[in-house]
Every structure is written in structure tokens, then in C-alpha cells.
Structure 1
Amino acid sequence: MSSERRVHPIIVAQHKLQNHATRTEHWNLVVLKSINEALVLGVVGNSDTFAYVPSEIKNFGKLRDLRGGCLVGHIEEDKLDWLKERLGKIPVLRYEACFDCQTWVFDALRLLKDDGVVTEDTSERRIRAELKLEEERWEGSEDTVEERLFPHNGDV
């Protein structure tokens, strides 16, 4: 039996968003187990129905609306249940013009930075700049973060 612990990258992922009054990207936190297998953490819905909904997906790297992301930290496999529960403690606000998926992600980053899980610079300036660069990489058919983290396109 191996004593090696599996550690997964955590990214802020961005997805193209249409028909929104102020945003062009939907954000969530994603724990990448491979280029395709991921734990997606974030809020879904509209301002009147927002809810925190963690989900496991098997086709992350193939999502049509995915526009890359930004590495923010790493987490051990055996802490994923803790992570889902921990992020469930972040208040989800409905009917508040100042709250959306991006607000929730920044709240999550602050919480996880305090917990020592997020280790990268999580300033709004850095996150937005990196995501803008990722969008440019995507538009230029360059590798985005999930492809750089799993360069052989395999499900490891």
C-alpha cells in the first residue's frame, strides 16, 4: 500500500455567460482530479434562486463554455468532503444586486486562504488579469490551465 497522498489543483474556472446584465463569465471553484474529472463548487441559479451546489463531473475539459481558469491552490483527496462542507458555510444571498457567482468565489477564496488551502495570490486584480489572459489563450487555441496541469490529456 502506497503512503503517497493524492493532491489535486484548485482553480477558479470561468465559463462564457450570455444574456446577463453585467457579467460575461460565470465563475466557480474547481478541484481538478484529471483534465476531465472535477469537483465543481459554486453557486448556480439567478439572483432569486441562487444556491450553493457542489457537483462531480466527468467531462470538465470538454465543456463547450469553459474558457480556462486560474490556479489558486491544492487540496488532498481525503479533504474533499471537508471542502464541500466548508464552502457550504458561505452565505448565499438572493435578491442582492451586489452578489453573484464571482462574489461567492472571492468569499470562498478568502475563507480558504485563511484555512491555508489557497496559497496563491487571490487579489481581485491578479485573478481578473489571469482570467483575461486565459480567455485570450482560449481564443488563440492555446493551452488553458486544465490542459497545462494535465498536459497528456489523460485521466490520471
Structure 2
Amino acid sequence: MLFELEALDIYGLQPYTPPSLLNESSESLVSSEVEAVPLKEYDVKVVQFWRGEKEPLRPYPLHWAIYVETSPGVGNTYQLVGNQKNYAIDIKLNQPLENPKDLRGSYSVGRVSRTELAEMEAILPRVDIIHGIPWWNSQDWVDDALRYLKCWGFSDIVGEMELSRLQDKMCWLLESWPGIENAVEFVGDSPDLACVLWNRRYVTIHQTFWRLQVSWRAQVQEMWGLTGTERR
């Protein structure tokens, strides 16, 4: 065998070195490259769905759900189903979003890793579900669920301040949706319409805000109307 190795060396060839004889620096380089691969993360979104109107420009509270797209066109949906008497959590994994024709916008509220995504299935069923209260609905459950995840250490879920503004953000998504122009102006007058926060402390603030918006728009329209008259 020694003769064969020496003969190879004469012709300028080197004997084959098996992988087990690779130097330690090569091994460490490979392992560091493997460890550097980041964990896959997914966007967590709140999606809302149209539920019709009591009358023109007075929509019922939109249905909210938590949606995590896991692959193009499919994802995990976490939501309430039923009514005030029998609300229950419903989880659908790796399926297309239901009722896409009723979708009225989505808003990103954070990110989760692959490991956290699996944990969500065990944690979200623990979120309290309230029955028999007319103004409590899927929007309240989603808000509570996101706060619950944050408390359980989901660090990339948005913080308290942004969650407190979530309903306003979803309202403006509705307002900007094609065919629903000016709907937001009309939802601050009654506790069972789309954009009134479940917490009664905010109802007066919302009503005042929307009245100011209406007044401001009227003043702008009046100003432009006068300007148009002067031009003619």
C-alpha cells in the first residue's frame, strides 16, 4: 500500500483523503453556515369581513379573525364562530381564507416563528369567550387574543399602544375599500355599529371625533362651493 501511495506521488497525484480526515477548521466553517440560517417567520394579520348593513351606510360590526399565511394563498385562521349565545373558537390550518369576496382589508400586527405558530394553537383556545353581552363580538376576542399572546411572550406582536388603536386602523381600512366611501362617518352613533370600541369609555370620544370630522368636511365643502361660485 505504501508503494502505491509513493507511486501516485511520483506522477504528481495526491491520495484521496476521506471526509473523516478533514481538518477542524473546515468542520467549523460548515457548522457555522448551518447555524446562520434564520428561522422562518410569518406575518400575523387581523382580517375583517363585511356582514351587511342595517341600512345604507350603517354597517353591522365587521367580523374579525387572526390570519397567518403559511404558503402562498393558504394559511391558518383563528376566529370566533356562532352567535352571542354559543360563540366558540374555530381554527383552520393551511387552508385558503374563507369568504374572500367579503374581505374588507387586513392589518399586520406582528410576526411569529415556526415554533410560535405551533404554540398559538395551544394558547388561543384559552382566551376567554364572553356570552350573552350584545356588544361583545369577534372584534373583542381578537383584541383580547393578541394581548394574551403578548403576555405569553410573543415578543413580535405589537405593543399595547398600537393595539389600542387597532379598531381605528381597521375602520379606515373599511373607509378606503372600493364602494364603501364615507361609511366611517356614520358608525360612531350607536354602540352596536362597526367602529365603536367595546369599552364604553371610548364611545364619547368616538362620537365627538366623527362629529368634528363631519363638521370639518362641511366647512371645506362650503369653502370650495363659495370659491366655485366666485370663479363662475
TM above 0.5, yes or no, is yes
Unpaired stretches in structure 1, ≥5 consecutive residues? 141-156
SS of the residue aligned with 2:126? Answer: coil
Aligned length: 138
How far off is 1:61 after superposition? 8.6
Deviation sequence 1:54-107 (CA, Å, 0-9, x none): 112533297111111111110012222211211110111222224210110111
Matched residues in 1 for 2:113 and 2:125: separation? Answer: 18
Matched residues in 1 for 2:131 and 2:72: separation? Answer: 33
Note the aligned Cα RMSD (angstroms).
2.6
Does residue 138 (structure 1) correspond to residue 177 (structure 2)? The answer is yes
TM-score normalised to structure 2 length: 0.52
TM-score normalised to structure 1 length: 0.75
- Bigger mean CA deviation after superposition, 31-40 or 43-52: 31-40
Identity across matched positions, percent: 23
Does residue 42 (structure 1) correspond to residue 79 (structure 2)? The answer is yes
Unpaired stretches in structure 2, ≥5 consecutive residues? 1-33, 180-232
How far off is 1:23 after superposition? 3.3
**Counting helix residues as a fraction of each chain, which structure ranks higher?**
2
Equivalence for 1:150: none
Equivalence for 1:147: none
Matched residues in 1 for 2:92 and 2:140: separation? Answer: 19
Does residue 10 (structure 1) correspond to residue 40 (structure 2)? The answer is no
Matched residues in 2 for 1:17 and 1:27: separation? Answer: 11
How far off is 1:31 after superposition? 1.1
Higher RCO (C-alpha under 8 Å, 6+ residues apart): 1
**CA 117–6 in structure 1, closer or farther in 2 if over 3 Å, else same:** same
Kindly name which structure, 1 or 2, has the bigger radius of gyration based on alpha carbons.
Answer: 2
Contact 2:76 2:95 in 1 (8 A): no
